[in-house]
Chain A
Amino acid sequence: MEDTNQPLDADLGSRPGGQNLRFTEPVRSDLLETSKWAMFFAVLIFIALGFVLIGSLFVMAAGSSGAIVGILMVIIYGGLMFFPGWYYYKFSTSTRQALEHDNNMSLEEGFANLKHFYRFIGILIIVVIGLYVLFAVAGIAFLSSGNFPGQD
């Protein structure tokens, strides 16, 4: 039976602690400044994305295989740059709106976007390190296989 003396989610098992944490004035001002810097970085990322798009247009115009390389550039570089910028932008706008209007939903959305940003960057770094290791291993294997001309 429901125990009305317990919090509603008392029987949900393991859950994050921090029952009594509060958004005090220092936390609010820190979050506000953080969101402003996040907007600054988002703008920089989108400017860089614009340069990538312009550069890929030049690549597409030049060379016979330029179109394919250009499209690949847009997809890979553009995609990899768009998401961090977008997450920072959403974090900044949601957090600022939440702090101005005391809107909990916006604040939750802001923190969710911050988490998405960190997760994206973390996975990106893992993939890049993995590719480096892969190429290093492939390079060493290629060099040590005695792959020289003239040998059987």
Chain B
Amino acid sequence: MEILDNQFAQEPGADGLQVTRNMKVNWLSTAKWAMFLTVITFIYLGFAVLAMFVVMPMMGTALAMSGQSELAGMIESAGAAFIIFALAVLGVMFMINLFHLRFSNGIQRAMQYDSQEAFESAWRNLRNYFRWNGIITIAIIAIYVIALIFLGSMAASRPDF
């Protein structure tokens, strides 16, 4: 088995997988759609950051104006922590999106300049994109499950009215 792997490492593509024209056509199409998704995600992130800095103070001001100054005070004091948390989430989304952008750029550069380095970088970035999306998804599912269990145990421990 090791001998077979060594042969492949010394002569990549000679006996193994070949890059074909169909693959290149599909890659270019994939890279263009990936760039489109990246742009849409960056626009969405921009709107989210704007909304955070515009909507949160507005909510506090609206509540203060309507006379519920206590609630408004609570919102504003929790607002800083919430904004920091939301910025962290958006930051993570931004970093993950950067991998996607680098994948798209890498494929296009690889096709244009016949660059093996850009080709390898593209697949490395797509792998990172999938990997971090997967990790975040697992974390979110775990948080949901823990929250459900926590809420369930709280509901079970309260006496019914």
Do the beta carbons of A18 and B119 come within 8 Å of each other? yes
Instruction: Give a binary string over B126-138; 1 marks a CB under 8 Å from any A CB, 0 the rest.
Output: 1100110110010
Tally of contacts, chain A with chain B, CB under 8 A:
123
Contact indicator B26/A112 (Cβ below 8 Å): yes
Q: Is B67 an interface residue (CB 8 A)?
A: no
Cβ of A142 within 8 Å of any chain B Cβ, yes or no, is no
- Stretch in contact with the other chain, from A54-62, A63-71, A117-125: A117-125
Tell me whether chain B's interface is mostly helix, strand or loop, or mixed: helix
Q: A17-B114, A22-B12, A112-B26 are in contact. Are A122 and B36 (CB under 8 A)?
A: yes
A33–B22 touching, CB < 8 Å: no
User: Is there contact, CB below 8 Å, between A115 and B29?
Assistant: yes
Considering only CB atoms, which chain B residue lies closest to A24 in the complex?
A: B12
- Complex Cα spacing A107 to B133, Å: 23
* Shortest distance between the CB of A110 and any CB in chain B (Å): 9
- A16 and B8 within 8 A (CB): no
When each residue 4-33 of chain A gets 1 if its CB lies under 8 Å from chain B and 0 otherwise, what string results? 000001000001111111111111101101
The reply to whether A21 and B25 form a contact with Cβ atoms under 8 Å apart is no
* Interface magnitude class on chain B: 35 or more
B40 touches A23 (CB 8 A): no
Q: Tell whether B51 is near chain A: CB-to-CB under 8 Å.
A: no
- Evaluate contact between A25 and B8: CB separation under 8 angstroms: yes
In the complex, the chain A residue whose C-beta lies closest to that of B8 is A25
Cβ-closest chain A residue relative to B13:
A22
- Is the CB of B112 closer than 8 A to any CB of chain A? yes
Query: In the complex, what distance in Å separates the CA atom of A31 from the CA atom of B20?
Result: 16
Q: Which of B24, B25, B29, B119 is within 8 Å of A27, CB to CB? A: B119
**How many whole Å from B70's CB to the nearest CB in chain A?**
35
Q: Are B12 and A17 in contact (CB under 8 A)?
A: no
Query: B30 touching A118 by the CB < 8 A rule?
Result: yes
CB distance from A27 to the nearest CB of B (A): 5
Q: In chain B, residues 1-55, which have Cβ atoms closer than 8 Å to a Cβ of chain A?
A: 8-9, 12-13, 15-30, 33-34, 36-37, 40
CA–CA, A107 and B22, complex, Å = 10
Contact B114 A20 (CB under 8 A): yes
Residues of B within 8 A of A (CB): 8-9, 12-13, 15-30, 33-34, 36-37, 40, 110-114, 116, 119-120, 123-124, 126-127, 130-131, 133-134, 137
A-B contact pairs, 9 of them (CB 8 A): A21-B110, A21-B114, A22-B19, A23-B12, A25-B8, A30-B120, A33-B127, A37-B130, A41-B130
